[in-house]
Amino acid sequence: MAAADASAGSGALPNWVMLERFIFRRDDPQSFREDKRTSATGETSVGAHFRISFILAEPPTPSRLYLSWPGGPKHEMMCHLAAAHRNLVLLRLDSFVDPSYPSPFGEMAHDYFIYYVAADPRSQAQSTPALRRLPGCTVHNAYFGRPIPRPFEPWGVGLLCCGEEFAVAYMSVSRRDPEAEALEVELWVLRSTVRDDSTDGGEKWEAKYLPLQGQDVEHINLLDFTTSEVVPFKNSLCWVDYRMGILYCEDVCGDSPKAVFVGFPPGYSSYHPSVRPELYRPELYRGLCVTEGGRTLAFLDVVRRDGIDIGPMVPAGFTIISMALTETQSANSFVVKADDLWATHSTKDLPHEVMMLPLLSMDDINVAHFVLYDWADLSGKFKISLVTIDLSTKRVVGSVVPYINEEDLSTDDADLVKAKPNFFMPFLPAEFPKFLNLQRTRKNPA
């Protein structure tokens, strides 16, 4: 199984990484993997201490987050890797407010933490990663007669870094007045600065109601908008529903945010699956990506010619579509067909199986990474690997990287193997390692 090795701190870190959304909970010190360059400690609102460490690797090998939380609840899915932007990462740990009442109806505390690396290499301030807990988002509950936590779907929360300031935001489409025709966006946003620690109440979440703009708004039932992921781009957060389009929220860090919905590009409908579309899960095959150092927003799609959800792609095949959504000098669009790849690569170089979870390099718009899901084993066992393709040359870059094998149930990664068939979430691209490299350069000048 591909994984980065913990290091004492030698060598340069990757410029950017593909974070595995699955968090490796390891409360036993013997099984907790640590890279001291990326480690940080924190404390939840109920007083439980924890430690995290990122184990980083060059893409397409996924990077991992290890968590030691001995005092935390033992239930699954109580910790989430929510978002990342520039030198920041957003985590969420869920705890029972009353540990003696951990039933499904027990009140939960949703603690968000900012993991940050100093962005200015000349700064003499915090030069190692640190965690700080953000104020919780609460709403008044008439039944209890007091504020209670306002829950958010973890994959629907966005993080936007604006220099020393940042914003954490959650969006939903609503109609407050049932009699009104116009839709609006309900935006919950917390604005702060990286070095400010105001969990005592100095910072507050704000609810903003924004008119929903865009030429496609009248033609699509946006009340059915379901967020697949949130992508930060320049001064905007982009909530994506891979069936409908993108809801851009501009100026999230400012006082006058604006919400604009944009359907997928004209002509894109020609790439939609035509066979059994009700079985198609577009979030497995589509990705909204920021590339070229943050200058370009691009859309990447693996179009299954059979139009079904998941299963072998042979003999029907697929077409990879890459479109730049912003105008830059180097922006390009690509079309790569399965036949192009299969004609020039052996099965060993490029397994003829399911290609999914596409992600463009954050540096190079020509380079795309994919998960390969091997369905060849009729016994029901699965293998997952990763591959990198240069879209401009239609060639595989490097070799196929092993990732998950069902036979790994006897290894320390058994929890990942058990979870993965039901946990196909896109990797989270993050560039905080670049800032760690800047800090190390400042400490050790040539």
Three-state SS for the chain is CCCCCCCCCCCCCCCCEEEEEEEEECCCCCCCCCCCCCCEEEECCCCCEEEEEEECCCCCCCEEEEEECCCCCCCCCCEEEEEEECCEEEEEEEEECCCCCCCCCCCEEEEEEEEECCCCCCCCCCCCCEEEECCCCEEEECCCCEEEECCCCHHHEEEEEECCEEEEEEEEEECCCCCCCCCEEEEEEEEEECCCCCCCCCCCCEEEEEEEECCCHHHCCHHHCCCCEEEEECCEEEEEECCCEEEEEECCCCCCCEEEEEECCCCHHHHCCCCCHHHCCHHHCEEEEEEHHHCEEEEEEEEECCCCCCCCCCCCCEEEEEEECCCCCCCCCEEEEHHHHHHHCCCCCCCCCEEEEEEECCCCCCEEEEEEEECCCCCCCCEEEEEEEECCCCEEEEEEEEEEEHHHHHCCCHHHHHHHHHCCCCCEEECHHHHHHHHHHHHCCC
Predicted confidence band of residue 32 (pLDDT cuts 50, 70, 90): very high
pLDDT greater than 80 at residue 40: yes
Q: Please give the pLDDT value at position 231.
A: 97
Contact predicate 392/364, CB 8 Å: no
pLDDT digits (tens, 9 = 90+) for 201-237: 568 899 999 998 887 776 677 888 999 999 999 999 9
Percentage of the chain with pLDDT > 90?
A: 45
Lowest-confidence segment of 24-33, 101-110, 114-123, 373-382 by average pLDDT: 373-382
**Mean pLDDT over each residue of the chain, to the nearest integer:** 83
pTM score of the predicted model: 0.89
Predicted confidence band of residue 116 (pLDDT cuts 50, 70, 90): very high
Distances (CA, A) of 422 to 294, 366, 403, 409, 416: 31, 30, 16, 16, 10
Of residues 393 and 215, the one with the higher pLDDT is 393
pLDDT greater than 60 at residue 345: yes
Q: Please give the pLDDT value at position 194.
A: 79
Q: Please give the pLDDT value at position 270.
A: 45
Of residues 118 and 391, the one with the higher pLDDT is 391
Lowest-confidence segment of 90-94, 148-152, 313-317, 332-336 by average pLDDT: 313-317
Q: Please give the pLDDT value at position 343.
A: 83
Predicted confidence band of residue 405 (pLDDT cuts 50, 70, 90): confident
Of residues 350 and 444, the one with the higher pLDDT is 350
Percentage of the chain with pLDDT > 70?
A: 77
pLDDT greater than 60 at residue 402: yes
Predicted confidence band of residue 61 (pLDDT cuts 50, 70, 90): very high
Query: Which range is most confident: 99-103, 140-144, 396-400, 419-423?
Result: 396-400
pLDDT digits (tens, 9 = 90+) for 253-284: 999 999 999 887 655 544 455 545 555 678 88
Of residues 277 and 368, the one with the higher pLDDT is 368
Q: Please give the pLDDT value at position 144.
A: 77
